[in-house]
Structure 1
Amino acid sequence: MFEFNINDYKYKNIHMIGIGGISMSGIAILLKENGYNITGSDRQLSETSKNLINNGIDVLIGQKKENIKNPDLVIYTDAIADSNEELIAARKLDVPVVTRGVFLGALMRNYKNSIAISGSHGKSTTTSMISKILMHSSKNPSILLGGELDEIDGNVHVGDKDFLVTEACEYKGNIKYYYPSTVIILNIDEDHLDFYKDLNQIIETFKTYLRNQDKDSKTILNLNEENNKLILDAVQGELITYGQDNKDADYNATNITFDELGKPRFDLIMKDGSVEHFELSIIGRHNINNACAAIISTHENGVDIETIRKYLKEYKGLDRRMQVIGNVNGCDIMTDYGHHPSEIKVTLNALKEHTKGRLICVWQPHTYSRTKTLFNDFVESFDDADEVIITDIYAAREAFDPTINSKDVVDAMVKTGRNAIYIPDFESARDYILKEIKKDDLVITTGCGNPDELAKMIVKSK
């Protein structure tokens, strides 16, 4: 097992391949602030890479063997293939070469208290809720986020060694390397099927994760999620459950109502039977689940209810999570990070109930493998939209696959009577939308590639 002691500087010089990723960049800044010499590389210059450079980190654009100098440790992101010449050169050195997941697991062990948020959906939102609450409590947590939070002016905050809050993604089985004192599992769904064989393998990975935990650990789990019930027997330490209108849960959200904009209000029956009232400033029933996980994890770690209530209500959301970009001729333009059928369905359902005009969704599929594997689910996930526009697939880490195309999804949707059109590029989609939209319509772009750029293009063109 790879071990990392943040205080002994055994690995003083650390090189990071793929440093521009949201998680890698956060780790880079945390290490830099703790006195390490950090270098890294990425395929192209991005805003994240520029921010790293502004923080005094040497970022090399382009990944080549010459980038490997004399590191004491090399960390690489999961997107890096074994054929990457920089990674090959690193492995020829007599130094540890570890994935981001392995390193994060080792880093986690340096903190007395750690909260790791897992689940197919809602990780970033829940992590940022927890972060906001802790930042306004007596704690000074270190935070690694998968999005940007105004409270910390980005995706990372370097606090003390007492508390670490981080997302814990199951991709490539990374959670098997994590050892937090508080485990949060929001939900388990079919995703990352370019790595996992099926849902059963994903569930087994979560079980392994739970079996690895200490007997003093706490596992906080949504009992309304059917797949979560399949891993209960693997929990070590204390199990704490929550749910909506679920009497079997330790914490039960009841008396759920929404204001005219769709922002939830609810009572939470606490573990001891007392009742606390909470109000959110973000929309959607699904965010009640995220809020419950945030309430429970911070309360179980010593934060008083009044602090939790106040700062949960003040939480306004992350960038690209049902984010309003602007308004064009009375039509709101929003963007979202949702890239899985379940996420898209929940988001559109939350928006539909409070949209006066038409709900128009522009989806940029993310990766060929996800589009192909979840094809039928995607076809059925846009039913709350009055019109669906699908752009070309964002390939991300994958090579071009000629056997799947966005137009295939559109054709399948049209065959079943759904209103969908294929517009390959953002410029054409922008022009179409500007001609079509009317007052009180709502346009949302969704996907985890760069559909937020399209939303910004629409607003800038008004």
Structure 2
Amino acid sequence: MTSFHFVGIKGSGMSPLAQILHDMGHDVQGSDIEKRFFTQVPLEERGITILPFDRNNIKPGMTVIAGNAFPDEHEEIDEALKQGVETIRYHKFLGDFMHNYISVGVSGAHGKTSTTGLLAHVMQGGADTSYLIGDGTGKGYEDSKYFVFEACEYRRHFLSYSPDYMIMTNIDFDHPDYFADIDDVFSAFQDMAKQVNKGIIACGDDEYLQKMVANVPVLFYGFNEENDFQARNVTTSTEGTSFDVFVRNEYFASFQIPTYGDHTILNALSVIALCHYEGIPTESVQEQLKTFKGVKRRFTEKKIGSRILIDDYAHHPTEIKATLDSASKKYPDREVVAIFQPHTFTRTQTFLEDFASCLKGADHVYLCEIFGSARENHGKLSINDLKERVDGAEILTAEDPSPLAKHEDAVLIFMGAGDVQKFQESFEAYLNENN
């Protein structure tokens, strides 16, 4: 048993890694700022100690795992280095850790978290599978055969890893604060492809992924006929979505998922392809797909009175379009209301016209002030620049959510990667007070 101390334990990757190591029987503690984050809930449920930052937290014999947000000058990292305590950066530790298992990374501009959660759930039906998901969820099994993890392309972080398999969901221009353009994003994925050891499962409907060059087999999935794994005969019902899978144009099997929208079919197809390649029984895959409950902040639904409230992480035009599409398919007879909080001024400026275009998929739009990053200079850009591009859009504040009350029997979708949840919480409080 090793004693681990996490510097920045509430991080979206750090928290699940701490959970995994705790589940595997190690002694785990960590430190972070006082502010409350949803990522600390599963730590607290496991009884993992969370301390304020203090150099006295560092003790001889520990292994210190340092979050990437903290420089070597941080008091705890500085103390660990002074004491000669083993200190490893998060990505380096994770890169080494995964070599103990058959490792499967999930990367892509969109759908990473949902696909990682789905893959972990489905593979669990075949063998013990430890997993690390970007929504702050982790689970470790001492005798794991597989390790499934979310691999983010931001700042090329995923190049710290050399997994056995990689699922690549799509390539799109996101993170304009780091990537120069879509070709820069593609180059990162191309570099990643060269580091995969056994095979790549890639969406063949994506024009950039089709250009991928790799040293291992690449299996393509999608709706187009030239894909190795193709979805056909899609039908939707109140239970979800059903579809047939053809492998190289021959019927393979039929599957059902409790979700809606083409993007959810593609996520499932990638999982089906990986499990087929690894020899996990088809019947197990079919059963597990039916029972997936979703991941945090991805189309998370709550019914209050006659309204459906949905919390969703969508913060890029492609994701917003997919979320609105899912809502309209699941609730075709209800008004769909978008409450959108743009995330970062850089992204808002880059995709201003695209945001306006995709929000037209909602019946009514409310806009919240831009959630900016401390690192950026926002100039003169404001939420009004987006409002004037969206017909009928209104500005919403957390202090007064009452305009939403006129939408009875509606589906209200709170979207964003900042703190858009506070608008939903404010509206729920308003409804409780005025019922």
TM-score (norm 2): 0.90
Partner of 2:332: 355
2:220 pairs with 1:248: no
Summarize the Cα distance change of 1:182–1:442 in structure 2 as closer, same or farther, 3 Å threshold: same
2:208 pairs with 1:220: no
Residues 26-425 of structure 1: pairs in structure 2 closer than 5 A: 26-43=16-33, 44-61=35-52, 63=53, 65-70=55-60, 72-80=62-70, 84-90=74-80, 94-95=84-85, 97-111=87-101, 113-137=102-126, 139-147=127-135, 155-214=138-197, 217-231=198-212, 233=213, 235-244=214-223, 246-259=224-237, 261=238, 263-271=240-248, 273-328=250-305, 330-353=306-329, 354-395=331-372, 398=375, 401-411=378-388, 413-414=389-390, 418-423=391-396, 425=397
Summarize the Cα distance change of 1:36–1:157 in structure 2 as closer, same or farther, 3 Å threshold: closer
SS, match of residue 303 in structure 1: coil
Paired amino acid for 2:111:
G
Paired amino acid for 1:392:
E
- Whether contact under 8 Å (1:348, 1:384) holds in the other structure is yes
CA distance in 2, matches of 1:264, 1:388: 27
CA distance in 2, matches of 1:344, 1:172: 23
Residue deviations 1:101-146 (CA, integer Å, cap 9, x gap): 22211111121x1111111111121112222222223x01111122
Partner of 1:438: 408
- Whether contact under 8 Å (2:165, 2:199) holds in the other structure is yes
How far apart are 1:263 and its partner, in Å?
3.0
Paired amino acid for 1:156:
K
Summarize the Cα distance change of 1:262–1:451 in structure 2 as closer, same or farther, 3 Å threshold: farther
How far apart are 1:291 and its partner, in Å?
0.5
Question: Which 10-residue stretch deviates more, 445-454 or 177-186?
Answer: 445-454
Residue deviations 1:138-164 (CA, integer Å, cap 9, x gap): x0111112237xxxxx54243524211
CA distance in 1, matches of 2:87, 2:350: 32
CA distance in 2, matches of 1:93, 1:197: 41
How far apart are 1:267 and its partner, in Å?
0.9
Summarize the Cα distance change of 1:69–1:358 in structure 2 as closer, same or farther, 3 Å threshold: same
Summarize the Cα distance change of 1:79–1:410 in structure 2 as closer, same or farther, 3 Å threshold: farther
CA distance in 2, matches of 1:183, 1:100: 19
For structure 2, list consecutive stretches of 5 or more residues without a partner in the other structure: none
Summarize the Cα distance change of 1:93–1:363 in structure 2 as closer, same or farther, 3 Å threshold: farther
SS, match of residue 426 in structure 1: coil
The number of residues matched between the two structures is 429
CA distance in 1, matches of 2:385, 2:71: 29
- Whether contact under 8 Å (2:312, 2:414) holds in the other structure is yes
Summarize the Cα distance change of 1:96–1:204 in structure 2 as closer, same or farther, 3 Å threshold: farther
Paired amino acid for 1:147:
D
Summarize the Cα distance change of 1:70–1:190 in structure 2 as closer, same or farther, 3 Å threshold: farther
- RMSD, aligned CA: 2.6
Question: Which 10-residue stretch deviates more, 70-79 or 118-127?
Answer: 70-79
Paired amino acid for 1:99:
R
2:421 pairs with 1:452: yes
SS, match of residue 338 in structure 1: coil
How far apart are 1:446 and its partner, in Å?
0.8
Question: Which 10-residue stretch deviates more, 12-21 or 358-367?
Answer: 12-21
Paired amino acid for 1:119:
G
Question: Which 10-residue stretch deviates more, 75-84 or 372-381?
Answer: 75-84
How far apart are 1:97 and its partner, in Å?
4.2
CA distance in 2, matches of 1:320, 1:187: 20
How far apart are 1:204 and its partner, in Å?
1.0
- Whether contact under 8 Å (1:325, 1:459) holds in the other structure is no
How far apart are 1:343 and its partner, in Å?
0.3
Paired amino acid for 1:432:
P
CA distance in 2, matches of 1:196, 1:93: 38
How far apart are 1:278 and its partner, in Å?
1.3
Summarize the Cα distance change of 1:393–1:95 in structure 2 as closer, same or farther, 3 Å threshold: farther
Summarize the Cα distance change of 1:79–1:348 in structure 2 as closer, same or farther, 3 Å threshold: farther
Residue deviations 1:261-305 (CA, integer Å, cap 9, x gap): 493221110248233111211111111100001111122212111
SS, match of residue 359 in structure 2: coil
Paired amino acid for 2:415:
T
CA distance in 2, matches of 1:370, 1:41: 31
TM-score (norm 1): 0.85
- Whether contact under 8 Å (1:240, 1:250) holds in the other structure is yes
- Whether contact under 8 Å (2:225, 2:249) holds in the other structure is no
CA distance in 1, matches of 2:236, 2:173: 30
- Whether contact under 8 Å (2:202, 2:221) holds in the other structure is yes
SS, match of residue 250 in structure 2: coil
For structure 1, list consecutive stretches of 5 or more residues without a partner in the other structure: 1-8, 149-153
Partner of 1:5: none
